[in-house]
Amino acid sequence: MWRLEASDVWTLRVRIRDLDRAVISCAFVGTKPGDATPSYLGGDGSWRGPEAPPAPPLNRPLAGEALELNLPGPGERDQRAVTAYLPPGHDPALAYAVVYLADGNMTRSLAEVTEAAIIRGTVPPVVLVGVASGSQPGEDIRNDEYIVGQHPERFEAHRSFFVDDVAAWAESELGAAVERERRVIFGVSSGAAFAVTMGLRHPDRFGKVVAFSLGVFPVEPSRWPPGLVPSHYLAAGTLEEGFRRSTANWASSVSDAGGDCVHVEMVSGHDYRMWELQFALALEWTLAGPNAPNS
């Protein structure tokens, strides 16, 4: 950075390949205590090049319903926050395609993307079920629960809670589908590592995997039973090299196993705006594409 002479104004110059197609979040982040929350620069806090894809349509306020509740969590005396989105006209007596989300704090904002797609008719009515990641001062609970091998006991407890307990609740209370073809698991970064690992371990339950900016390549071998390779929609930014590489490698693993796979790279970083846009496209491919089940 360079300081303009005799002023408190600093300038920054960054060179980015294919900048005209870039989508990049921009923010001021303070360095003093209490300044940790970014202050975004107008609009949705992003810069889009003239040839970049537009932001996805959002439906605000939601016509459907967003539920916030706590379920008995994976740890002793643990209560885990769950956020569920129910589409307009939801009837729990019907069976809905369902997306299970790691990092459930994103559920409410992604519901705005989802509902706009439902209203446009590009995806069928779908239920979102987001599970909050673990939190404990001084400990990396999130990665313990999402990444194989980091803390086996916590990982297994969370896996069972997510796959068994949360799904059983969603099926009983929300009308979430039980067929693998109508069950999607989603995550970003370390949450993406969890999503693809669950697609490996439970291909009989999750027929679709949506994973963005894969943080850690799964240590388990990519072997699925014949005919049970989940369809994958994978995306990463060209400006997040390690995540980009892991995502590309996983796309190769899925294709080598004979699975359907969409692999997208955007001129972006480890960026929610990229994930938001790709989530809208992933819903269309997984739930309303040529191989999608009837809703």
Whether residues 162 and 244 share a domain: the answer is yes
Whether residues 175 and 33 share a domain: the answer is no
Task: Answer whether residue 170 is part of any domain.
Answer: yes
Task: Answer whether residue 79 is part of any domain.
Answer: yes
Query: Could you tell me if 286 and 258 are in contact, meaning their C-beta atoms sit under 8 angstroms apart?
Result: no
Task: Answer whether residue 17 is part of any domain.
Answer: yes
C-alpha 222, offset from chain centre: 21
Q: Is the model's pLDDT at 246 over the cut of 90? A: yes
Q: Is the model's pLDDT at 198 over the cut of 80? A: yes
Q: Is the model's pLDDT at 174 over the cut of 70? A: yes
C-alpha closest to that of 235 among 275, 272, 269, 195: 275
At 241, the pLDDT band (50, 70, 90 cuts) reads: very high
| Structural domain that includes position 90 | 65-288
Q: Is the model's pLDDT at 88 over the cut of 70? A: yes
Whether residues 121 and 164 share a domain: the answer is yes
Model confidence over 253-267: pLDDT tens digits?
999 999 999 999 999
Whether residues 27 and 139 share a domain: the answer is no
Model confidence over 60-73: pLDDT tens digits?
999 999 999 999 98
* Average pLDDT for 138-151: 88
Whether residues 35 and 97 share a domain: the answer is no
Task: Answer whether residue 55 is part of any domain.
Answer: no
* Average pLDDT for 217-240: 88
CATH at 238:
3.40.50.1820
Please give the tally of structural domains in the chain.
2
C-alpha closest to that of 141 among 195, 90, 103: 103
Whether residues 87 and 214 share a domain: the answer is yes
Task: Answer whether residue 131 is part of any domain.
Answer: yes
Whether residues 271 and 166 share a domain: the answer is yes
Between the alpha carbon of residue 241 and those of residues 10, 92, 107, 265, 268, the distances in Å are 27, 43, 26, 11, 10
* Average pLDDT for 48-56: 94
Whether residues 23 and 109 share a domain: the answer is no
Whether residues 42 and 69 share a domain: the answer is no
Residue 45's pLDDT is: 80
Place of tokens 């990444």: 147
Whether residues 76 and 41 share a domain: the answer is no
Q: What is the enclosing helix (H) or strand (E) of 28?
A: strand 27-28
Residue 244's pLDDT is: 97
Task: Answer whether residue 56 is part of any domain.
Answer: no
Taking the model in full, what pTM does it have?
A: 0.91
* Average pLDDT for 180-198: 97
Task: Answer whether residue 57 is part of any domain.
Answer: no
- The rounded mean pLDDT for the chain is 90
Q: Is the model's pLDDT at 137 over the cut of 70? A: no
The structure tokens listed for 33 are 């205590």
Whether residues 15 and 139 share a domain: the answer is no
Task: Answer whether residue 295 is part of any domain.
Answer: no
Whether residues 219 and 149 share a domain: the answer is yes
Phi, psi for 191 (deg, rounded to 5):
-65, -30
Enter the DSSP assignment of 106: G
